[in-house]
Amino acid sequence: MSEAQRVPQKTTSAEDREWQVIPLGEATENFDSMRVPVKGLDRKPGPFPYYGASGIIDHVDGYIFDGEYLLVAEDGENLRTRKTPIAFMAQGKFWANNHVHIIRGNHLANTRYLCYLLSVTDISGYITGSTQPKLSQANLNRIPVRLPSIETQQRVVSVLDSLGDKIELNRRMNRTLEGIVRAIFKSWFIDFDPVHATAEGRELVGMDPETAALFPDSFQDSSLGMIPKGWEVKPLSEVCLAVIRGVTPKYEVGSRRFIINQRVNRGSYLDRSCLKELSHDLEVPDEKMANAFDVLLNSLGEGTIGRVHLFRGPSATYAVDQHMTICRCGHAGMSSYIYQYLASPLGQQRLHSLKSGSTTMTMLNVSKLRAFSVPFPRPRLINRYWEAVSALWSAIAESEQQIDGLVVIRDTLLPKLISGDLRVKDAKRFLERSRV
């Protein structure tokens, strides 16, 4: 471990004598009485987030709250499994139902500090119910919290927020870069702008003549409607080396073998905080490990079904879950092409038309995915497309590596700062040495 990576240890100071342990209810204001649940059929679409126990579940045309609040799940299995955060911040104007507690820090507690604190606090002893876990308001208020002075809390929040801001900045940059990649794909392969331009005898702004010459000047009919002349409609099974499901998992905490599942797949990026560890004795076939530029498609479960990700990490590091489909190609350009098509509104519409099963447990059958047809240009044009976007993908991959490093640092510092094992000034020195 390098000097920059070595987290400093606790030293005794006056700061250590500031701490007090009190029930959470003594450090907060509670606004549960203002919550109003609205059934799905009665909600009117609008710009304001509608929160439930696991975060935003809809957007509606009205709001109850306006400001910065801490939302804590009141019920649901996630209280025990904690696959997603049980406490999260809500800012601005929003609505909330009665499955989430609404609290705010008083003069003893910074609201954001409480959010960080609850993220690393064991609340299992305050959860009731066997079939439906519940954290009542009374039990929420009883949870003991160890708090330093409000000034120290604010300094801790400043350090952790700075890391969160850098993570979010990188993610916004990646969304911008991928938006450029997506716009090029849409222009070339969905709207067929170069074909229309050539047919009309005009130049397409931003495209060099050599690339424009790779597009035809007319269209032909196909099973997918009108496509550029000379293009072919092919099933994924014909253009991919493999279209297969992942491995059936068996879990073991501490094994350090990880699997990508539907929760990890966020589409444009992987949420590694949701990674689960596989049993050390589970045999995972090589073909069910994620390889660089695999297209990973969520294939089971309403809500995330159809979500698609272009894997850009190192090969054979992560296994892929059985509820996802791996589309593996022999060329990064072809992978990028298939990913962009499946992620496009047209591709998503066609994928969702293939869903089968009940409303609560829908699936994409792998045989139907193998037969899923896509219009393909000649290989030279796909190669040219890859030349146009590969540098953007490289920048995205570099930014993702930075995000992963920042997440590791944040998750390492968080419990140490919250427990008081690490002083704020030592954390700042560590970040300076790490050039964060």
Domain assignments of the chain as residue spans, ordered by start:
1-19+148-231+377-436, 22-147, 232-375
CB-CB contact of 102 with 96 (8 Å): yes
Terminal C-alpha separation, the chain: 17
- Residue-level pLDDT, tens digit, the chain, 436 residues: 444 445 555 544 545 558 999 999 999 999 999 999 998 888 999 999 999 998 999 999 999 999 999 999 999 999 998 878 999 999 999 999 999 999 999 999 999 999 999 999 999 999 999 889 999 999 999 999 999 999 999 999 999 999 999 999 999 999 999 999 999 999 999 999 999 999 998 888 889 999 999 999 999 999 999 999 999 999 999 999 999 999 999 999 889 999 999 989 999 888 887 888 999 999 999 999 999 999 999 999 877 899 999 998 888 899 999 999 999 998 999 999 999 999 999 999 999 999 998 766 789 999 999 999 999 999 999 999 999 999 999 999 899 889 989 999 999 999 999 999 999 999 999 999 988 7
Strands 242-245 and 258-260: unpaired
Task: State the pLDDT at residue 41.
Answer: 85
**Distance in angstroms (rounded) separating the CA atoms of residues 396 and 171:** 9
The topology (CATH level 3) of 1-19+148-231+377-436 is Helix Hairpins (1.10.287)
Query: What Cα–Cα distance (Å) separates residue 279 from each residue in 255, 259, 276, 321?
Result: 6, 10, 10, 13
> Which amino acid makes up residue 377?
P
Instruction: Please compute, for residue 133, the number of CA atoms within 13 A of its CA located in the half-sphere on the CB side.
Output: 16
Short-list 296, 434, 395, CA closest to 6: 434
List phi, psi (to 5°) of 124.
-55, -35
CATH of domain 232-375: 3.90.220.20
Task: State the pLDDT at residue 361.
Answer: 79
**For residue 58, what are its two tokens?**
């809809």
pTM to 2 decimals?
0.81
Task: State the pLDDT at residue 422.
Answer: 94
Task: State the pLDDT at residue 114.
Answer: 98
The topology (CATH level 3) of 22-147 is Adenine-n6-DNA-methyltransferase TaqI; Chain A, domain 2 (3.90.220)
**Distance in angstroms (rounded) separating the CA atoms of residues 393 and 205:** 23
**Distance in angstroms (rounded) separating the CA atoms of residues 103 and 114:** 10
CB-CB contact of 119 with 88 (8 Å): no
CB-CB contact of 407 with 270 (8 Å): no
> Which amino acid makes up residue 296?
L
HEC assignment per residue over the chain: CCHHHCCCCCCCCHHHHCCEEEEHHHHEEECHHHCCCCCHHHCCEEEEEEEECCEEEEEECCCCEEEEEEEEECECCHHHHCCCCCEEEEEEEEEECCCEEEEEECCCCCHHHHHHHHHCCCCHHHCECCCCCECCHHHHHHCEEEECCHHHHHHHHHHHHHHHHHHHHHHHHHHHHHHHHHHHHHHHHHCCHHHHHHHCCCCCCCCCHHHHCCCCCCEEEECCEEEECCCEEEEHHHHCCEEEECECCCECCCCCCEEECCCCECCCCECHHHCEEECCCCCCCHHHECCCCCEEEECECCCCCCCEEECCCCCCCEEEECCEEEEECCCHHHHHHHHHHHHCHHHHHHHHCCCEECCCCEECCHHHHHCCEEEECCHHHHHHHHHHHHHHHHHHHHHHHHHHHHHHHHHHHHHHHHHCCCCHHHHHHHHHHCCC
Domain 22-147 in the same topology as domain 1-19+148-231+377-436 = no
Strand order in the sheet with 318-320: 276-277, 258-260, 318-320
Strands 318-320 and 258-260: parallel
Q: Tell me whether residue 140 is exposed, middle or buried, using C-beta atoms within 10 angstroms of its C-beta: 0 to 12, 13 to 18, 19 or more.
A: buried
Task: State the pLDDT at residue 3.
Answer: 42
